[in-house]
Amino acid sequence: MTHAETSLRRAAAMLAGLAMLAAPHGARAAEAWGIEHEKEVKLTGKVVDLLCALRTGTDAKTVDATDCPPDCGGGRRQLGLLTGAGKLHPAVKANADFAGATADLAPYCGRTVEVDGLLIANPAATLLMVQALRTDPKASFVKADRFLAEWARQNGKAEEWFRADPKVKAVIAADGVFGIRGLEPKP
């Protein structure tokens, strides 16, 4: 992919994000990002801890499962959606910049939710982006950006959490933005 193509995709993704912010509360949340292999979807399934689901074939409520921590790991384990058709989809992205979907899904561990978002059916890996979710078909979808609220609760307000995060700062301070000590961007 050329730099120009990369920039165009990035711009398209940003515009899609802005459109999401403007969507009225309760409306269908799924918005295309223009990603290759993407499908706008509404998927209903059970929230599961991926490791637990892979090892037991079921979910975190299984009695004898030994790699199924309570509450799907309390926000510290990667989660997915196990659909009625038995498809397991890793929920890798939320509707917040640079954030995964664990914060949004963890409160519903073992419960059934309806996810509105994007399924990226890339032959290399099929991924689910959670843009919004609900537990009641009659209720409005709730935007999947819980990560931001949780981050703010722990760290205070910041315009860009990813630049203000103390763990990020520590890693970048140690190895630099390029990941190589002493290698700095040109001024």
159 belongs to the binding site for another protein (CB under 8 A): no
Residue from the set 4, 22, 24, 86 that interacts with another protein by CB under 8 A: 86
Residue 173 interacts with another protein (CB under 8 A)? no
| Contact status: 168 vs another protein (CB under 8 A) | yes
Q: Where do we find the tokens 């890793």?
A: 90
- By CB under 8 A, residue 57 contacts another protein: yes
Task: Tell whether residue 84 is a contact of another protein (CB under 8 A).
Answer: yes
The CA R_g of the chain, rounded to the nearest whole Å, is 18
Q: Which of 31, 59, 116, 145 binds another protein (CB under 8 A)?
A: 59
Q: Which of 41, 61, 107, 142 forms a contact with another protein (CB under 8 A)?
A: 61
Instruction: Using DSSP, state whether 115 is helix, strand or coil.
Output: strand
- Answer for which of 29, 30, 60, 82 binds another protein (CB under 8 A) is 82
Rule CB under 8 A: choose which of 4, 22, 24, 66 binds another protein: 66
Size of the site for another protein (CB under 8 A): 85
Residue 131 touches another protein, criterion: CB under 8 A: no
Task: Give the three-state DSSP class for 181.
Answer: coil
- Dihedral angle, C-alpha 91, 97, 98, 99, nearest 10 °: -40
Q: How many whole angstroms separate alpha carbon 137 and alpha carbon 125?
A: 29
Eight-class DSSP state of 109: B
Q: Closest approach of Cβ 131 to another protein, in Å?
A: 13
Return the ∠ at Cα 66 (arms to 62 and 71), rounded to 5°.
Answer: 60
- Between the CA of residue 127 and those of 12, 46, 97, 113, 118, what are the distances in Å? 19, 16, 17, 17, 8
Tell me the per-residue interface mask from 102 to 121 with another protein, x by CB under 8 A, - otherwise: xx------xxxxx-----xx
Least distance in angstroms from the C-beta of 22 to another protein: 20
Q: Give dist(CA 38, CA 33) in Å, integer.
A: 8
Residue 167: CB minimum distance to another protein, A: 5
Per CB under 8 A, 44 contacts another protein: yes
Residue type at position 129: M
